[in-house]
Structure 1
Amino acid sequence: MHQNMHTGSVPTDMNHGGHELFDVHEALSGVIASLNQAMLLRPYVQDPELLDIIDRQYRFTLDEYNITVECFKSGTDPSHPTGSYKMKEGNDFIYGMKPSQPKKPLQNANEVNDEIISGFLLGSAKANATMKAATSLETTNPVVRRVLADSIPNCIEMAYELSIYQNKHHYYQVPQLAQQDMQQLLNAFAPSQGQPSMPDHTIQ
């Protein structure tokens, strides 16, 4: 009987499954798109604070991209571990809605502003977090899986930093439920008390 399955160990640079190869390609392509987008949008930024966010996130993402490519090609540990992105913003959101103009597509490129740029960057960070999470679930190489998994909190942190920036400038408003409705939802779950009695594993 003919066997198509590989047996035994394989070289570390070949220690990748098929799904992994396709998904990591897609994840890395998404990161490149984010970096390219930031590079193209940077000249249009007006706010020095947003410029600082773009530059810090770009440098961090580029380094993270490089070590991901490195371990993906080698199958072994990259030259340095995944870092931990630290944002400068606080974490205080402004809650509630203020009157604002309805959103609509741009009529021309001259309308590009900090609101639109920060929105693009926020969308990219969220997309990268989602894609890396899905990719890490399909990754068989333990090093690549760990590097991808460790990078997901950094995408989340970047998205959070951008959402706080947008919120502070009233680009991203956060509505709240009425207090009674909020309390009902907050109290909709209770912790489990005591030790549960597990059913017998033998079915009669």
Structure 2
Amino acid sequence: MQQQPFNQNHTQAGSVNMNHGGHELFDAHEMLATTVNVLDQYMIFRPYVKDQQLLSILDHQYGYITTQYNRMVEAFSTGQKPTTSIGPYEMDASTDVTYGITPSQPKKPNANLSEVKETGISAHMLGLIKSTSSLFAMAAPEVTHPVFRRVIADSIPDWIEMAYEIFLYQNKHGYYQVPKLQQADMTAMLNSFTTSSTNIKTSTTHLH
């Protein structure tokens, strides 16, 4: 996904660094603190990861999130366009998804730390990334500062992509199974909406 350019009129204005609303400041602190928490949690998870594929995903995402975090801090504290550029998050995983449910043992909490495995670690990673993407999406519309708003908004697709990467890993290993409807039910659901050609200007003329 191509990121939109920053508005240079805003990034060149030295006074904009203080243009933060009160609600925005609280949201910004929550977003930054949450990002710190994600990075700290990844560091805690790492010694328990034995699977090289998950380890590669964890390390890749950690590095990317760190760069995002540094850009957020810089934009928030200076009001200027971050000096470090970043491209869209790219994953190596195939997007093929396995559908259907395979019987497996019921899940239960770990009895001790020796039972911590990739199943649970990847689930924790996915939960962190999903909740953070939701937080950013909810907070971005409340940000009044133009530069900081753009930094947050531009990062949301990347958090979604990271979540998808973890899901694909889980699905491949049978940790995240995807149930599928019967063909007739799926067809009915897929055909339950149709496109619109309504013109709002002409459809409301009878009210005048």
Q: Given the two structures, how large is their TM-score scaled by the length of structure 2?
A: 0.89
How far the C-alpha of 1:28 sits from its partner, in A, is 1.0
The residue aligned with 1:125 is: 129
**Gapped regions of structure 1 (runs ≥ 5):** 1-8
- Does 2:167 match 1:200? no
Please, which of 147, 154, 160 is the counterpart of residue 158 of structure 2? 154
Q: More deviation in 9-18 or 185-194?
A: 9-18
**Gapped regions of structure 2 (runs ≥ 5):** 1-12
Whether the 8 Å CA contact 1:77–1:143 is kept in 2: the answer is yes
Please, which of 144, 166, 169 is the counterpart of residue 140 of structure 1? 144
How far the C-alpha of 1:44 sits from its partner, in A, is 0.8
Structure 2 CA distance for aligned equivalents of residues 23 and 101 of structure 1: 41
User: Which whole-Å deviations, capped at 9, do the CAs of 1:74-114 have from their partners, x for residues lacking one?
Assistant: 11111033421001101110000000111211211111101
Whether the 8 Å CA contact 1:89–1:161 is kept in 2: the answer is yes
The residue aligned with 1:23 is: 27
Whether the 8 Å CA contact 2:75–2:82 is kept in 1: the answer is yes
Spell out the pairing of 1:101-120 with structure 2 (5 A cutoff).
101-120=105-124
Q: Which runs of 4+ in 1 moved over 6 A?
A: none
Paired AA for residue 25 in structure 1: H
Paired AA for residue 121 in structure 1: M
Structure 1 CA distance for aligned equivalents of residues 199 and 144 of structure 2: 35
Give the alignment's Cα RMSD to 1 decimal: 1.7
Structure 1 CA distance for aligned equivalents of residues 21 and 55 of structure 2: 39
Q: Given the two structures, how large is their TM-score scaled by the length of structure 1?
A: 0.91
Question: Which structure shows the bigger proportion of residues in helix conformation?
Answer: 2
Whether the 8 Å CA contact 1:166–1:172 is kept in 2: the answer is yes
How far the C-alpha of 1:158 sits from its partner, in A, is 0.4
% of aligned pairs identical?
48
SS in 2 for 1:30: helix
State how many pairs are aligned: 195
Q: More deviation in 188-197 or 175-184?
A: 188-197
Whether the 8 Å CA contact 1:82–1:151 is kept in 2: the answer is no
How far the C-alpha of 1:61 sits from its partner, in A, is 0.3
- Does 2:37 match 1:33? yes
Paired AA for residue 101 in structure 2: M
How far the C-alpha of 1:66 sits from its partner, in A, is 0.2
Spell out the pairing of 1:57-68 with structure 2 (5 A cutoff).
57-68=61-72
- Does 2:98 match 1:94? yes
How far the C-alpha of 1:13 sits from its partner, in A, is 2.0
Structure 2 CA distance for aligned equivalents of residues 82 and 12 of structure 1: 22
The residue aligned with 1:173 is: 177
Paired AA for residue 135 in structure 1: A
Whether the 8 Å CA contact 1:68–1:147 is kept in 2: the answer is yes
SS in 1 for 2:205: coil
